[in-house]
Chain A
Amino acid sequence: MAEVATIVELNGPTGVKTSLANKVARFCNEDSAEPQLNNPCKIPPSLFSYSFRKTHSLRITGDFRQVSDIYVYGDGTFAADWGLDAANGGALRIGHRDTGDNGLPIDVALHGTNEYAQATGDSTSGHAIDDPVNGHPYYMSQSTPVLNFDSCLAGAPCKIDSGPYTEDFYSKAWVLDLKIPPSAIYGAKSPKSITAIYNIF
């Protein structure tokens, strides 16, 4: 049979995986795959606030010889559609590595190491990926620890995992956070899609 694909979110201290199929993933101020409307992101009076980090991975099972070259991209309008005021630094950001795959290793057997780190913060702000003290250990020391996800388009997607994989697997993960300036716009935001692509044969 052909492959079956889904996206999972990793939460908790050990990175428990939850499929996002039939669920709604929301950026918020808690580490939860399905927070409903609880703990919404806060607009700060000054400087920036951040959402709790989201860690997502592509899960593929089924019959295939090889899966490789896993990328993610968006439509380039997250900041605009969500009122993040890009001109003042607001953005959806994705963890970035200076060299190699941008994805986060999450399985020792599949990726050689497990660099998962639970999202942290408090009720007013999460800890940013590139926070100098509480940032994500796998990204915070990079010279470019994050990319603006609005620059990751279909023609220039963000490479998450080169692979290759020859049996059922979880890909390296992509880590996202929201950077929110004081000039961001209040209110419920429209849902948006992230696209994951891969080569299979």
Chain B
Amino acid sequence: MARPTFRRFWVEIHPDGSASPQFDPFTGKSHETSDAGQPVAQVLFYPISPGLAEKIRAQGDVAEPSELPVLSFEAPPCQPIDLEKRPLPDFYRTGTLRYYMRRICGFCEAEFGTDVEVCPRCLAKNQWYCGTCDSLIAEPIVDRERDQVRCPICEKTEPRGLKMIRCIGDFNEEKLYTHYVLEIDGHRHLILDYKIKCKQ
């Protein structure tokens, strides 16, 4: 079960000057679904500080501090940001859920990518075992057409299948990325939670 990781938070400024933050700065509690009930004149995005990240985590959400720049978006006076517009309001968030296959070593519990077959920490690997020879087989006969893996030693007398001794497991790691979408005055802004490096 994946949760979005917040690295910046928004503050809505209403036409009367009042402000509604996404996270309470004192408790870290999320106000994302609080019904402000009034239009928004300005939206500010601040990076999450280490202290605020800790408070947000204490409330059950996932946050990490960042040094993202402060962003400010102002709506034209006669066209405030409409949070009640449907089917989508002028300001909403998008979640992107991806699954990444990862491997885990049964001996040392190291987690690593799928590009390696051998545990990088303890060098454990899945191996084929022959019950007749009572030994691990480094180069088995792999018969794709019959979906068989056989012992090359026993092949000469009585062909025998091998058993996989599995110590490297696969699992899916869930990652949920998130970004904000803000539409002001006909322009659509994507507010990402990371800084894009520009080549100088």
Enumerate chain A interface residues (CB-CB to B < 8 A).
1-7, 19-25, 37, 40, 43, 58, 63-65, 68-69, 164, 186-187, 190-191, 193-201
- Tell me whether B99 and A19 are in contact (CB under 8 A): no
Q: Which of B95, B99, B144, B174 has a CB less than 8 Å from the CB of A200? A: B95
Q: A24-B172, A197-B95 are in contact. Are A191 and B101 (CB under 8 A)?
A: yes
* Pairwise interchain contact B92-A201, C-beta atoms closer than 8 A: yes
Contacts A58-B97, A190-B114, A197-B97; is A63 near B172 (CB within 8 Å)? no
* CB atoms of B96 and A3 under 8 A apart: no
Q: How far is the CA of A58 from the CA of B33 in the complex (A)?
A: 21
Shortest CB distance B193–A (Å): 13
> Chain B 22-48 against A: per-residue CB contact (8 Å), 1 yes, 0 no?
000000001011010000000000000
Q: Is residue B98 contacting chain A, with contact meaning CB distance below 8 A? A: yes
A19 to B99, CA, bound (A): 12
In the complex, chain B residues whose CB is within 8 Å of the CB of A22 = 171-173
Judge whether B155 is part of the interface by a CB distance below 8 angstroms: no
Q: Are B174 and A2 in contact (CB under 8 A)?
A: no
**A190: B residues at CB distance < 8 A:** 114
Contact of A197 among B61, B94, B100, B114 (CB under 8 A): B94
Q: How far is the CA of A187 from the CA of B142 in the complex (A)?
A: 10
Query: For residue A20, which residues in chain B have a CB less than 8 angstroms away from its CB?
Result: 99, 172
B29-80 residues at the A interface, CB under 8 angstroms: 30, 32-33, 35, 59-62
Tell me if A7 and B97 are in contact (CB < 8 A). yes
Most interface-central of A5, A23, A37 (chain B CB within 10 A): A5
Chain B contacts to A: CB under 8 angstroms: 1-4, 6, 30, 32-33, 35, 59-62, 83, 87-89, 91-101, 114, 144-145, 147, 164, 170-174, 176, 181
- Take A21-B1, A195-B98, A200-B95 as given contacts and tell me if A68 and B30 are in contact as well, using a CB distance cutoff of 8 Å: no
Complex interface: chain A residues within 8 A of B1 (CB): 4-6, 19, 21
CB atoms of A200 and B92 under 8 A apart: yes
Secondary structure dominating the interface of A: loop
Residue of B61, B96, B172 ringed by the most chain A CB atoms within 10 A? B172
Asked if A68 contacts B87 (CB within 8 A), the reply is yes
* Cα(A65)–Cα(B86), bound, Å: 12
Q: Is the CB of A5 within 8 A of B89?
A: no
Of A24, A43, A193, which contacts B170 at CB under 8 A?
A: A24
29 pairs, CB–CB < 8 Å, chain A vs chain B = A1-B3, A2-B6, A2-B61, A4-B3, A5-B3, A5-B174, A6-B1, A6-B174, A19-B1, A20-B99, A21-B2, A24-B101, A63-B32, A64-B32, A64-B33, A65-B35, A68-B87, A164-B87, A187-B144, A191-B101, A191-B114, A191-B170, A197-B94, A197-B97, A199-B92, A199-B94, A199-B181, A201-B88, A201-B89
Check if A6 sits within 8 Å of B2, measured CB to CB: yes
Q: Which residues of B contact A198 (CB under 8 A)?
A: 94-95
Chain A residue contacts of B92, Cβ below 8 A? 199-201
Q: Tell me whether A194 and B94 are in contact (CB under 8 A).
A: no
The chain B residue with its CB closest to the CB of A58 is B97
Are A195 and B97 neighbours in the complex by a CB distance under 8 Å? Answer: yes
Residues on A with beta carbons closer than 8 Å to the beta carbon of B87: 68, 164
Distance of B163 from chain A, by nearest CB (Å): 12
A23 and B172 within 8 A (CB):
yes
Closest to A190 in B: B114
Are B30 and A2 in contact (CB-based, < 8 A)? yes
Pair B93/A5 contact, Cβ less than 8 Å: no
**Which among B60, B96, B171 has the highest number of chain A CB atoms within 10 Å?**
B96
Contact of A193 among B4, B33, B94, B99 (CB under 8 A): B99
